[in-house]
Structure 1
């Protein structure tokens, strides 16, 4: 987040995403066959993932979004089965045909009209299928196939315990490590579509809140779309929006400018950062050395000042580690904690985790960073938050 151009001592967040996926490139990635519906199994948790996508979609009975750009967005609904043996932060990928007793699996899929999707989400909010009439919208990052982003969305919904329905906004990533520049063009293309979806959801009276959660390069898309809503003076949509960004692959100065235009939302924008995000280090290299927002050093007093001024809550989640070894996917493990933060409403945790910089400790507590930094900025003494 800091605007300094001195050589940073920590890797950038955008770089971490790229390298994390590059390091995992040797692993077999799921093909489109994982989208073929199977019969649900007793004991599995079912979540409905509504999809708004700027990907071209093949098929009608069993729709399969591709990595090609579509002129107009498509709307879909998938019901994903979470196996009874599911472990938090994991996606139990099938090694062959999906087995819902032990794998993530699709049990149904269909195309929808835009109005139908919004109406169904409004009805889900009214009957309590989403927590506190809140609809979560997830935007994936760089190098993600549709099936990877769909199952990640299902994992986040299940682990964060935010209900049985959510929205995935899926943009046409090339799903290739060599596709970084093409993916940047794809997120640029998708800004209008995401802004439209957010505005439509916010206009549905039965939906109280729209919580936008984005990862890596998807964070740039999310911020640009919220920026467009602000420029359009859609006060009704702005009033319902909350934003959380995980490892945002955004130039730090661009991020600060986005924040200036977006202005203050009703709650601080949450930014999950990691000092060990190697993927963002690679992203920074590709960007000519520009520092990435997701690699902000929470021990830097300038970051604290910027966070307070911009109504940002920066949380260092380095302690969560990563499955890839590159530090770029700790947000998956943070899902349950994120859900707890949203559920607390006006209690001590929500009130304490306001604008500023924090560290997630090894026992799951969110702590204000070093008391000396906080006191230098006029903050009260640091205290643990449970």
Structure 2
């Protein structure tokens, strides 16, 4: 992921990074898939090409990439302490007006190298035009299909560090903190949130916005146990599922046939636990495994920041059935049509 010539791209995004990965001295690599003894931090500017297609990541065929056609890194710097990380976060927040100082924290999934997680967050933020400050928490995945057990253990080992990162963000000048996790990243995310809950040392939870669990690679029975620790949350978790997710079918096989949360068929049961289920089964995926469909929600364009950075409120019961609704509150009450199909939303009323 070397720095490219960024003299011509559509826009750049400053991504703050907290990671349990080791630093990597190879030019343009920054972090590898091995576990570090402590958290590392960085700030990276990523450029998105003018030819970008929403929902996709245009990877360079050859380093350092062409800014007219590829995602490229414009600038990158390690941050040498958590204080430097918080200073950088507060500096980004200060660029936004009061009332808009929000953070989007993204935790990637299994089989994901550092650059892949960085570019996926950039794609989501760019396509949705989400106004929040993007923060990537990246744990030590080796980015190889055969390293599932290593990745699982890496995610588990990262619980305390994600707990610490969440607390740091909540202690910043952020007015709202929204969390988006994907695949195995949901395991470490829900575990960290559970850990915070049972610690009795809660951060200012009024700052918590949306918690989105996309294609979660979590045993369904484990998730039910975790939810019992939370109790019915004041703000529901939003769980994005797809019954044709091939990656979760493989995970199901490795786990001895135990259903994964992101491929669960009984969505009504999840709704009864206090979750809002976003079923994307009928949406055509951009990846062959149908595991990254959540990124395609960016097709909702300028309304998506209401979900990713602003939260979702209930639709007004006084609204007439045929009335056009401009708010993304609609996503939790009726089907939403994307370019690739229809999203169905199930919630307990």
The TM-score, its normalising length taken from structure 1, stands at 0.78
1:250 matched to 2:214: no
1:314 matched to 2:281: no
Instruction: Say if 1:221 and 1:331 are closer, same or farther in 2 by CA, change over 3 A.
Output: same
Secondary structure of the corresponding residue to residue 144 of structure 1: coil
Cα deviations across residues 202-226 of structure 1 (Å, max 9, x unaligned)?
Answer: 011x201111111101111110011
The aligned counterpart of 2:177 is: 210
The aligned counterpart of 2:68 is: 101
1:261 matched to 2:224: no
| Greater Cα shift, 235-244 or 322-331 | 235-244
Instruction: Say if 1:102 and 1:284 are closer, same or farther in 2 by CA, change over 3 A.
Output: same
The aligned counterpart of 2:199 is: 232
The aligned counterpart of 1:330 is: 293
| Greater Cα shift, 63-72 or 345-354 | 345-354
Cα deviations across residues 184-210 of structure 1 (Å, max 9, x unaligned)?
Answer: 110011000001000111011x20111
Instruction: Say if 1:131 and 1:159 are closer, same or farther in 2 by CA, change over 3 A.
Output: farther
The aligned counterpart of 1:295 is: 263
RMSD value over aligned CA atoms?
A: 2.6
Instruction: Say if 1:274 and 1:114 are closer, same or farther in 2 by CA, change over 3 A.
Output: same
The aligned counterpart of 1:155 is: 123
Secondary structure of the corresponding residue to residue 203 of structure 2: helix
Equivalent in 183, 190, 213 of residue 158 of structure 2? 190
Instruction: Say if 1:172 and 1:217 are closer, same or farther in 2 by CA, change over 3 A.
Output: same
| Greater Cα shift, 278-287 or 42-51 | 42-51
The aligned counterpart of 1:55 is: 21
Secondary structure of the corresponding residue to residue 142 of structure 1: coil
The aligned counterpart of 1:18 is: none
Instruction: Say if 1:178 and 1:130 are closer, same or farther in 2 by CA, change over 3 A.
Output: farther
The aligned counterpart of 1:140 is: 108
Secondary structure of the corresponding residue to residue 156 of structure 2: helix
| Greater Cα shift, 110-119 or 58-67 | 58-67
Measured in 2, the distance between the counterparts of 1:130 and 1:181 equals 44
Measured in 2, the distance between the counterparts of 1:168 and 1:254 equals 25
1:71 matched to 2:37: yes
Contact 2:131 2:305 in 1 (8 A): no
Contact 2:108 2:137 in 1 (8 A): yes
Measured in 2, the distance between the counterparts of 1:351 and 1:322 equals 24
Measured in 1, the distance between the counterparts of 2:91 and 2:235 equals 25
Secondary structure of the corresponding residue to residue 319 of structure 1: coil
Cα deviations across residues 317-346 of structure 1 (Å, max 9, x unaligned)?
Answer: 123321222211111112354434344754
Measured in 1, the distance between the counterparts of 2:289 and 2:207 equals 34
Cα deviations across residues 207-264 of structure 1 (Å, max 9, x unaligned)?
Answer: 0111111110111111001111111223334332331111000000101111121334
Q: C-alpha displacement at 1:133, in angstroms?
A: 1.4
The aligned counterpart of 1:282 is: 250
- Structure 1, unmatched stretches of 5+, are 1-33, 380-386
Relative CO higher for 1 or 2, CA cutoff 8 Å, sep ≥ 6?
A: 1
Q: C-alpha displacement at 1:268, in angstroms?
A: 1.2
Contact 1:92 1:102 in 2 (8 A): yes
Measured in 2, the distance between the counterparts of 1:187 and 1:327 equals 22
